[in-house]
Chains A and B, each alone.
Chain A
Amino acid sequence: MPSAGYTREIPQRYRLEAAKCASCGRIYYPPRLVCAACGGREFDTVKLPDTGKVVTYTVIRVGPGDFAEEVPYALGIVEMEGGVRLMAQLVDVPLDGIKTGMPVRLEFRKIYEEGKAGIICYGHKAVPA
């Protein structure tokens, strides 16, 4: 990923900043400019809770380029408290020990090393809560 793109995503990647629609209250992660529910264009910045549960998951055994050496790794969709869902790797748990509904907490971790520019890309991974 080019460094400009990486830099502008820091608020959501590092701090879990989301956008809460000022008119209907729906929360978007990542932030958006228009509310898909009510059309509102005014948002407040809120921080997502860092606890939630696994909604669905898989174990990736053939990975794309930047992750090719990381396999096998677990990837899931996590529903945070309050209902926002996001994708994250599931770590610090045996691959055969993951269950749908499992409570997890997001932790700030290294996600991968960007090959060409040498940037270490950070974000959140889910660990058992």
Chain B
Amino acid sequence: MRDVAVIGVGANPKWGELWGRSLRDIFVEAALAAIDDAGVDHVDGMYVGCMSSGLFTGQEHIGSLLADYLGQRHLPATRVESACASGSAAVKAAFLEVASGHGDIVLAGGVEKMTDVSGAAATYALGTAADAEYECYHGATFPGLYAMIARAHMDRYGTTPEMLAQVAVKNHDNGALNPMAQYPFKLTVDQVLKSVMVADPLHILDCSPITDGAAAAILCPLETAKKLSKKLPIKVAGVGHATDTIQLAQREDMTWLESTAKAAERAFKMAGVKIKDVDLCEVHDCFTIAELVVIESLGLVKRGEGGKATLAGRTARDGDIPVNTSGGLKAKGHPVGATGVAQVMEVVKQLRGEAGSRQIKGAKRGLTQNMGGSGGSAVVHILEVA
């Protein structure tokens, strides 16, 4: 296997409710931004992470559609799906294609166009990432599933609504500095706690939004990265992927995300590093409770201490383990198929020193953690300055 680098990243300029743009528009904007960032004139292959273009826009077969609209007719291109981890799964597919030698310059993209349908239809579409027959059948929603994780975490560890709210406050502090963020404004704990309840104990401001957005990354062999691009090559040092039961009820421990723990273990083993060697993390904060359980499952903090660590500011930009400098899914937005690619984009920008006012000084290694469903899929990437 060849070493692989990321040499270009890009996104459509502003995520949010983009009624004037189509799925193909926002994807092509992101892909062109990444191609231009890398400075390459072609790609050899493309993988597009997308959870449900069918339910959100009535369009399947987007490999063909997007290659065509990118002006790359005949490009080998296919869609990759792992619910909300689809973007990272596309990055992994692109990594494998480059590492194997099958392709030299491969685009990993992600897109979701979610606001062409009503809120009820979007809730239904997202719900298909849960067990349709044994969770959705009984009226489960994604806020509901994570609310049940939150209740279990509160019961076992004494996690409080204030601790959950602080995740939103911290991520909005970061998102306020990110020009592409859907909600680039600050929040207070009080605002979160007074916002409408969606699924007890989660308020609407504990939830990531419904978003139109796309992101892309260009991968190539590390050894040719400097010839192909003027950008500082960022090595894909670790790739870890794991699944778990799709049903929350069938997990032994609902306060833990074993798929994330296993994916991280695999990524760390491949990279030959430990969590203490990582300078920043972009993690899947689809709900505030998710970030707490994820930082515990990654080993950033001890089990049960995610809330306390967040309240203490350890995961803030000036903390010892900055988490979600981009604003996370919470403030930046969560176009589900694009999220994993956008996490890679943020880490690449941080490692290149291009993160502007949210830059973590001297960052040399970063981690992305992206998950699908209530934790039924997880993908972890470790990126480092080559």
Contact = CB atoms under 8 A, between A and B. Distances in A.
Interface in B333-360: none
Contact of A70 (B121, B139, B151): B139
A123 B137 contact: yes
Contact of A62 (B123, B137, B155): B123
A77 B148 contact: yes
Interface in B139-165: 139-141, 143-144, 147-149, 151-152, 155
Q: How large is the interface on A (under 10, 10 to 19, 20 to 34, 35 or more residues)?
A: 20 to 34
B155 A123 contact: no
Contact of B123 (A5, A55, A64, A86): A64
A30 B155 contact: no
Interface of A is mostly: strand
B139 A100 contact: no
A86 to B, nearest CB: 5
B249 A68 contact: no
Interface in A66-106: 66-68, 70, 73, 75-77, 85-89, 100
Nearest to B155: A100
Contacts of A47: none
A121 interface: yes
B243 to A, nearest CB: 12
Contacts of B202: 58
Contact of B249 (A62, A77, A100): A77
Contacts of A68: 120
Nearest to B150: A58
A115 to B, nearest CB: 11
Interface in B188-226: 196-202
Interface of A: 1, 5, 9, 30, 55-68, 70, 73, 75-77, 85-89, 100, 111-112, 121, 123
Given A56-B152, A57-B148, 4 more contacts: A58-B200, A61-B198, A89-B139, A123-B137
